[in-house]
Every structure is written in C-alpha cells, then in structure tokens.
Homo-oligomer: A and B are copies of this chain.
C-alpha cells in the first residue's frame, strides 16, 4: 500500500484466535504502522512477537494501549472491566476503544464507565471463529465473506464508528449496525444456544461409563463429532458469554426446551406425521443458509 496506514498504533489486548487473526489481516493489508499486543499469558504474548504478527508484545494492557489510536479488546468478556480500568488512564485523547465480544450490552456496561472523556467506545462483533484458541490458531482468511456487527451507543462519535467499520471492511467483512440488545437476542439463538446445547450433549456423553464413552468416540462420525467440535471451544470465553447474556440465553433455552418436549412426546406416541412435518420444515432453513452463502 502506498497510502499511509489508517492507524498509527493498533493495540490488540488478548492475542488469541480472533486477536491473532486480526493482527495477521491488519499486517497483510497494511492497516496499521505499528501493531502491539498485550496478553496476560506471557507465553502467548512472546509467541505473537516471535512469529512476527505483532511489532511489540507485553503482558500489561496499559503499556500496549498507551499512545494507541485504536485499542481492540479480544479478551474473554469477564476480563473487560478490569482491562478497561487498567487502560483508562493510559488512553490518549481521541483514542478509539472497540472489541470483538459475542455479547454487546454487557460489554458497554463493563467498559464505558472506565473510559476517560474524549475516548470513543465502538462495541463490535466480527461474527467469525473456529473452535481453536491461542495465537497460533489465527489466520487472516477468518474474516472475508463474514459479517461484522457494530453496536454504537447513542451519541457515539460517527467518525470513530466509521474508522472501525473501515478496518473490518478492509479485512474482508461486511459491516452492519445494530442495537446492542437486539444483537444479544440474535446471537443468543444463532450462537450461544447452539454452543450451550453442544456442550450439554458432549457433557452427557462424558458422564457415560468408560466403555460406552469409547464407543461414542469411535462412532462419532454419525453426527456426534460436529457437536464435539463446537464443544471444543474456549471454556473461559464461553463461560463469560453465558454469564453476560443470561436473560436472552435463558429465554431461547426455554423455547428450545418446550420444542424438545413436544418432539419427545411425538416420539413416545409414535406420531410419525409430526416428526416428518418438522424434519421437512427444517430443510427450508438449511436452504436459506446455503443461499446466504454462510454454509
């Protein structure tokens, strides 16, 4: 790129799957002059430096954030308040703080109170991921063709919001804006409930007697393995998602349980028509996913 980079100093706090994917994409697209990361795990920070995806690495978020024009929070949501409290005093006027968390209202509540006057908060969520974790798991191709949702708060600085949108667009994402509460309800069903269900079914299998558990692994290609992939996701990240999107998740779960109970009754009563009818309707949604090129 011949133009000067969009950001002088990008600070990525948390260099896991998403953080390290972003570092790679930003590097590849020349979007920041300097990329610095902070990670509480010193090995991860050092590793990010060693593999050359960041210019500087530290375990101190304030050190990374000092002088940054963009700070990207990529830590589990439960750590947001502490990180915000730590970096707050180090942020320069006009700095933008954004994030990649799967929950948005709780993030605003946790971060906003700790940011000084003149610093802009732009909550964001690149809807992409894999079940892998850590700085080696990231890859720049994670983002292209996927959606990024920004949930700016009322009165947010339009220029700051646009800069964050441009960053994700440059990484290949399509950017949408949404109300934080609406985001949390949509993601509860598309992401949080599926993870909850996958964790549960794999947990149910974990509790089987040893011999049966080995057979479940052996014959997992018949459906179970897809759930194990989802249930192999980062435990800390997902604990924090469920604790921070409690209402929406519990509401979805309630609907799901009602539907499951109805299906259970159909099986017990041998109501083949009801089963066939449901299994036919669900195919339409699959077709929608394929048509939307999200498969």
A interface, CB within 8 angstroms of B: 78, 102, 127-129, 131, 146-147, 149, 185-187, 189-208, 212-233, 235-236, 238-240, 242-243, 246, 249-250, 252-253, 255-257, 259-260, 263-264, 267-268, 270, 272, 275-276, 278-289, 292, 294-295
Q: Are the CB atoms of A270 and B288 closer together than 8 Å?
A: no
Chain B CB within 10 A, most for which of A186, A212, A223: A223
Q: Are the CB atoms of A205 and B189 closer together than 8 Å?
A: yes
Nearest 6 pairs of A and B residues by beta carbon: A232-B286, A191-B222, A235-B279, A194-B223, A231-B282, A202-B282
Given A127-B219, A190-B224, A239-B276, 14 extra CB contacts under 8 A: A149-B219, A186-B215, A186-B219, A189-B208, A191-B219, A191-B224, A194-B227, A198-B223, A199-B278, A203-B263, A203-B278, A221-B294, A226-B229, A235-B283
Q: Which residues of B contact A231 (CB under 8 A)?
A: 279, 282-283, 285-286
Q: Are the CB atoms of A292 and B246 closer together than 8 Å?
A: no
Assembly of this chain: how many copies? Answer: 2
A280 CA / B232 CA spacing, docked (Å): 8
Q: Are the CB atoms of B222 and A242 closer together than 8 Å?
A: no
Q: Are the CB atoms of A223 and B267 closer together than 8 Å?
A: no
A27 CA / B127 CA spacing, docked (Å): 44
